[in-house]
Structures are given as C-alpha cells and as structure tokens.
C-alpha cells in the first residue's frame, strides 16, 4: 500500500536483477568463518630493523623474498622503454576484460608457440592483473563450473604457499592439504589425491572442486617431471576432481628450461584438457612483481566465464601486458636472463653449501631452498621455526621465511630465497651457518 492508502504503482516497487529461482543462496558461513590473517611475508623484513638498530653498519641479507626485482635487476630499461612505446601506440582507452588480442596472440604464437593439434588458441588465453588475480579467478571457476556451489575443497600440497591457504577461503572454498611424506618433499601422489576425494565424501556433502599443482614448488623448490604432472592430473580427473590448476609461475627460473605446454596438453585427451587451467606470468621470470602481469589458459567456456565476471571486476592494465609482449619479442629467453642466470648460479652456491654442511634440504628449481633447522631448534628449546626466524633476522641480519608460516608440517624448516647475486647468496649462506651454530 502507498502512504495514501492505495496500491503501489508498478514503478514504485523494488525490482530484482535476477529471477527468484536464480537468487544467490543465503549463506551464514561468513559469520562463523575465521578472520583471514594478513600475509606475514610482508612483515618479515621489519625484523631486520632490530638488527639495523643494533649494528647500523652491518651487512644485512634478505633471503626471504620471492621478488627478483627487489634483489636482482628485474625489468630493465630496454624492456620498459619498448613496453612504453606499445602503450603510447595503444592509447589509454578501456580494453576487453580478457586483455587484448595483441597479448593473446603474443602468448599463443611467440611465448608458448602453441601447436594447433592441442585445439587451443588465442581464445583460450585470459590476461590477469598478476598471479593473485589469476588465482582468484581460477578458484571462482572451480567452484561455479566444477561443483556449482561454494564450500567445497581446493586441494594443495602438504606445505603450500601461504596464499594457497587463504586465497580459496576468501572466495568461499575450503582448503585441504594432501597427504605427503616429508622425506619426499611433501610431493603430491595419485594415492594422496584419491584420499582427499574420499575424505571430502565422508564429510557428508562436500566435494573436491579443484587440485593445485605447483612446479617448481613454492615454498620448497621441489620439482616434478612433466610426465609426473600429467600422471597427477589424470589421477585427479579420474577421481572426479572437476579442475586441475597448474601453477607454473616459476618454470622459467630453472636449469631445465621452461615447461613444454604443448607436450603437456598433447599427453591428455581433448576431454581432459578441457578440465585443466594453466597459470603463468612474468612476476618471477622477469622480476616484474610490481608490473602485475599473469595469464590463464583454459577451455574456451572457462575463459568466457572468467572474462564475463572480470568485466564487472578487475580488468588487466595494458601496460602490464605490454611488458610481457615486449619480452616475447626480445625474445623471452634474453628478457629473463637477468633473473634466470644469477639465480641459477646462486642455486649452485646453495647446493655446495648444503652438501658441505651436511644440511637436509629440498633444492630443486625456482627461487628457493627449503632447509631443515629442527636440530638447532631442539638445541635452543625453540617450539617452531618462527622463533629461529626471529633469531636470524634480529641478531644476524638475515631474513628468511619460517616454514611454519606455510603450514604446521613445515614447522622445522625455513625457506631460503637464493634469487640473489651469487656472491651475495654465498655470504648469506655463511651468515645462516654462523647463526645456527650460535644457538
């Protein structure tokens, strides 16, 4: 009724955007979910301030970061100039939510050199504003297209990157850590994936909506051959997991060269390919963390789903795409040499250091060595590696990432980033040993 006692006119009634049957469900879980903690990765270097105050002239080492642009040359002037020329020619108008056709073609034709036999092309590419943006888009697709609901599980390795714990949770998915043996670097196995699917089923109604395979791994640096990644992908799909996300963001930073996407896709059936999502970008290979460029490759319906939602959310900047395009034209192997070369040399330094000191460590590819520090923790009566992280930073000017930050299963380990010039990596490793022996 109106305030005058008559029936409401049609134009005076509230209207819904979708039909009643299409309304989002009322979900009370936000009232019971835990508060997502801020990433402690951004706090670690603050501990170095304690050391700086005590010893203003002492050399400090940041072996915590995953940002080659902070510790190595990063994106050089030549590349930035080329990207700026592309930006000037392109202008500053809105682009499509998938990025630009120029970017898509560059990724397909110059970067991946996609084989037509894969059935994938430019329309299978979605530009994103960095890796985190790409991951959130992928989790969203896993839930909506995979199981058609929120609250299901994204499966990760036993000791995952910090944001794998919380990124899915932020968009309404839960996270399950797959079984894995410390002796094997907590590597995923077909049996472990099957166990996750079985456990999800025993909850009564939850399912697994996606599996994340990271190679090289963050935080451990562990690598698995492409054939093993194919085996894991097939095992997950056969077990009923709707989507497998392959995070290859570190794959150029390797002694073995970049991953062969064509070989991976052609090893799968067309139906299996439709359920894979591949993530890559320039944040690690070019030290371009603050340029914020990544991309996803997926089946056309999956890309279209993410593209439509991006049109109401985050549309990638052209400049970030321009840096990637310019790098592919350089060509890419030369563009990333300033990161890949020194990091590879520092990897050799760390391998020699670990062997000489008899340390237990996982040292595959990418940026990181995952080093066990449990014996020194025990000697000092420390509960977990957070305490040893504080000891290293505040007393010895060396920042690392405590393994317990990733999961409780890494509580006796630290992540040591060797994305450093080789001489710096050697001095940082020596400082680590001095600090451990001082306990």
pLDDT, tens digit, 9 for 90 and up, residues 376-427: 999 999 999 999 999 999 999 999 999 999 999 999 999 999 999 999 999 9
Three-class SS of residue 418? Answer: coil
Band of pLDDT at residue 240, cut at 50, 70 and 90: very high
Residue 5: per-residue pLDDT: 52
CB 268 within 8 A of CB 276: yes
Could you tell me which of 44, 96, 126, 13 has the C-alpha nearest to residue 415?
Answer: 44
pTM: 0.95
Helix (H) and strand (E) counts for the chain?
A: 17, 13
Instruction: Provide DSSP, 280-337.
Output: EESTTTS--TTT--EEEE--HHHHHHHHHHHTTSPPPPHHHHHHHHHHHHTTHHHHTH
Three-class SS of residue 358? Answer: coil
Compute CA 237 distance to the chain's CA centroid, rounded to the nearest angstrom. Answer: 21
The DSSP output letter for 39 is: P
Domains of the chain: 40-66+336-437 (3.90.1150.10), 77-332 (3.40.640.10)
Tokens coding 313: 């959310």
Residue 42: per-residue pLDDT: 67
The pLDDT tens digits of the residues spanning 311-357 come to 999 999 999 999 999 999 999 999 999 999 999 999 999 999 999 99
The DSSP output letter for 155 is: E
Is the pLDDT confidence value at 4 over 60?
A: no
Band of pLDDT at residue 284, cut at 50, 70 and 90: very high
Band of pLDDT at residue 7, cut at 50, 70 and 90: low
CB 286 within 8 A of CB 242: no
Band of pLDDT at residue 9, cut at 50, 70 and 90: low
Mean pLDDT in residue range 25-54: 86
Mean pLDDT in residue range 229-249: 98
Three-class SS of residue 149? Answer: coil
For the chain, give the percent of residues with pLDDT over 90: 92
Residue 2: per-residue pLDDT: 46
Is the pLDDT confidence value at 65 over 90?
A: no
Alpha helices in 72-202 (DSSP H): 77-90, 101-105, 131-141, 162-170, 190-202
């Amino acid at each position: 009724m109106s305030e005058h006692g008559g029936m409401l006119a049609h134009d005076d009634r509230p209207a819904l955007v979708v039909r009643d049957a299409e309304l989002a469900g009322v979900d009370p879980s936000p009232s019971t979910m835990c508060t997502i903690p801020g990433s402690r990765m951004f706090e670690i270097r603050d501990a170095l301030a304690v050391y700086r105050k005590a010893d203003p002239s002492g050399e400090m080492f940041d072996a915590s970061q995953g940002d080659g642009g902070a510790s190595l040359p990063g994106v050089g002037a030549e590349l930035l100039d080329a990207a700026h020329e592309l930006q000037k020619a392109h202008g500053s108008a809105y682009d499509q939510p998938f990025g630009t056709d120029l970017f898509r073609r560059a990724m397909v034709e110059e970067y991946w050199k996609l084989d037509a036999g894969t059935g994938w092309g430019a329309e299978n590419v979605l530009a994103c504003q960095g890796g985190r943006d790409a991951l959130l888009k992928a989790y969203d697709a896993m839930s909506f297209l995979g199981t058609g609901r929120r609250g299901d599980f994204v499966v990760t390795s036993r000791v995952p990157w910090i944001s794998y714990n919380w990124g899915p949770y932020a968009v309404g998915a839960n996270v399950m850590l797959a079984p894995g043996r410390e002796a094997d670097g907590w590597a995923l196995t077909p049996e472990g994936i099957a166990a996750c699917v079985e456990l999800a089923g025993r909850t009564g109604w939850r399912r697994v909506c996606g599996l994340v395979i990271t190679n090289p791994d963050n935080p451990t640096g562990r690598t698995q051959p492409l054939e093993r990644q194919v085996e894991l992908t097939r095992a997950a799909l056969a077990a009923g997991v709707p989507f497998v996300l392959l995070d290859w963001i570190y794959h150029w930073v390797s002694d073995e060269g970049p991953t062969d996407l064509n070989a991976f896709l052609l090893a799968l059936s067309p139906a299996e390919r439709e359920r894979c999502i591949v993530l890559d970008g320039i944040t690690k290979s070019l030290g371009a963390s603050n340029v914020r460029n990544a991309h996803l490759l997926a089946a056309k319906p999956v890309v279209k789903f993410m593209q439509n939602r991006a049109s109401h959310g985050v549309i990638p900047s052209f400049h970030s795409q321009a840096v990637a395009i310019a790098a592919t034209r350089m060509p890419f192997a030369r563009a990333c040499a300033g990161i890949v070369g020194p990091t590879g040399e520092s990897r050799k330094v760390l391998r020699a250091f670990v062997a000489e000191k008899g340390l237990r460590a996982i040292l595959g590819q990418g940026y990181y060595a995952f080093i066990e520090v449990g014996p020194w923790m025990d000697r000092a009566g420390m509960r977990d590696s957070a305490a040893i992280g504080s000891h290293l930073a505040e007393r010895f000017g060396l920042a690392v990432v405590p393994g317990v930050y990733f999961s409780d299963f890494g509580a006796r380990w630290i992540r040591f980033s060797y994305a450093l010039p080789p001489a710096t990596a050697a001095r940082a490793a020596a400082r680590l040993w001095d600090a451990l022996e001082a306990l």
